[in-house]
Amino acid sequence: MDMSRRHGPLMHLQLGEVPTMVVSSAEAAALVMKTNDLSFAGRPRTVTTDIFGCAGKDIGFAPYGDHWRQMRKVCIVELLSSKQVKRMEGIRAEEVGNLMRSIAAAASTGATINLSQKVAALSNDVVTRAVFGGKFAQQGEYLRELGEAFRLMSGFCPVDLFPSSRLVRWLSNGERDAKRSHGRIERIIIDVMEGRKAERAASVGTDGEDLLDVLLRLQQQDSLEFPLTTDIIGAVLFVSIPLLVSTSATENTATVLAWAMWELVRSPETMAKAQQEVRDVLVEDLAVFTDRDLTKLQYMQMIINETFRLHPPAALVPRMCREDCTIMGYDIPKGTNVFINVFAIAQDPACWDNPGEFKPDRFENNVNYNGTYFEFIPFGAGRRQCPGIQFSSSLMEMALTNFLYHFNWKLPDGASLTSFDMSEKFGLAISRKYDQKLRATPHACFKAMSSK
């Protein structure tokens, strides 16, 4: 962020053989993702994303073109539509209910709760059920390989900086590690797909389709311009869907949830105001409050917006220049990798008063993250905006609302805010280096939970 303030809204970097531009102001971001969106609709290609994304045949990392348009349409219309998100409400509610019971059990013994682990498990379980319909034999291996894939894709690989160098390619382990991991992924996907095809052959109907069922149905119908091969389905299931709905199963939603709870614990007045709204508006003592209930909570949405501002799911949004272009008087050559510095823009004093403070009330003016306010673009904007906003935000809002309704939260005995190590670790999302641990005290009656 200091570099962005020192060098201005556009900063050119020569990273090895690759020209790179960092965009660090709302005005410049609007020029890239709105005014010249088509020119910057490409995605940077890396060795690892090519391997895991089936050479650009997935959704998230595909180059702009007819195939990407088809896959995005499949994603929006079939996989992540509002209808699908609503249909999955039962999955989210059930998993959030399981989490509430787990926290209640720990709270009854006075145990400290590792909130980081619990929200990561929640996100994992929801994504797994959404994609595969439930637990399956290879689930543990699937989640391990998913974590490894995203670790490799978010890590540094020298080949990406010197793509023409045979020596660098030979010396680098990143490509070899990615190929080994992808081989294990292919085996899991083939096993799961073959098992599901056998199940589908023995039954009729598409009620309650999970995302794997949807893709297999589209493959069987064979009505798309670009057929859905097994490799492409694997890339969508293993990379695109977890990335789009959760930026990886253990990051995005889980990370932002943990940050939201930490900011609330640090700000008792904000916590009290949020809990008062939740408990005043949601008068029924339900085991789990669902999407229907959450539409009434205005301050809760402000808290989520402010958390996304301070802790965006991805600090840098990647684009690639597809044709020579001029931005703010600077010539940007074709092939330049472009990174929109979402974090720096959200911390810009020109856009936000006291940007380092957690102040949910700043969102009373209805600013949202749908890509029209370039001061606040945690999910990007334009053609390449993340299509998974609804899925991720719905899960986060449901979990946070139930956290605040059913429990009062505080630091573990003997702990203070100054004693916590707030070091961050970087990946596809910026998360805390060390797990967040809190104490929970039940507030509402848990009869509805214990009876299930």
> Tell me, what CATH number does 237's domain have?
1.10.630.10
- Cα separation of 337 and 329, whole Å? 18
Residue 112 in this model has a pLDDT that exceeds 80: yes
Domain count of the chain? Answer: 1
Helix axes 211-221, 174-201, angle to 10 degrees: 80
- Cα separation of 63 and 151, whole Å? 22
At 181 the three-state DSSP class reads helix
Q: What is the reported pLDDT for 237?
A: 78
Q: With bands split at pLDDT 50, 70 and 90, how would you rate the model's confidence at 450? A: very low
Do 428 and 150 touch, CB atoms closer than 8 A? yes
pLDDT, one tens digit per residue, over 180-216 is 999 998 898 888 888 888 888 877 555 568 888 889 9
Residue 130 in this model has a pLDDT that exceeds 50: yes
- Cα separation of 358 and 190, whole Å? 46
- Cα separation of 413 and 398, whole Å? 28
Most confident region among 103-112, 222-231, 333-342 by mean pLDDT: 333-342
pTM of the full structure: 0.89
- Cα separation of 120 and 257, whole Å? 9
Most confident region among 18-27, 67-76, 87-96, 149-158 by mean pLDDT: 18-27
Q: Which domain holds residue 232?
A: 2-450
Once rounded to an integer, what is the mean pLDDT over residues 159-168? 92
Question: Is 445 assigned to a binding site?
Answer: no
169-207 core/surface letters (b: 16 or more CB in 10 A; e: else): beebebbebbeebbeebeebbeebbeebeeebeeeeeee
Q: What is the reported pLDDT for 421?
A: 60
Q: Where are the alpha helices (DSSP H) in 267-319?
A: 268-281, 291-294, 298-310
Q: What is the DSSP letter of 447?
A: H
pLDDT, one tens digit per residue, over 392-448 is 778 889 999 999 999 999 888 777 776 566 666 665 556 666 678 899 999 865 544
Q: What is the reported pLDDT for 274?
A: 96
Of all residues in the chain, the percent with pLDDT exceeding 70 is 88
Residue 319's beta-bridge partner residues? 338
Q: What is the DSSP letter of 137?
A: T
Question: Residue 252 class from Cβ within 10 Å (0-12 exposed, 13-18 middle, 19+ buried)?
Answer: buried
- Which amino acid appears at position 395 of this protein? L
Q: With bands split at pLDDT 50, 70 and 90, how would you rate the model's confidence at 248? A: very low
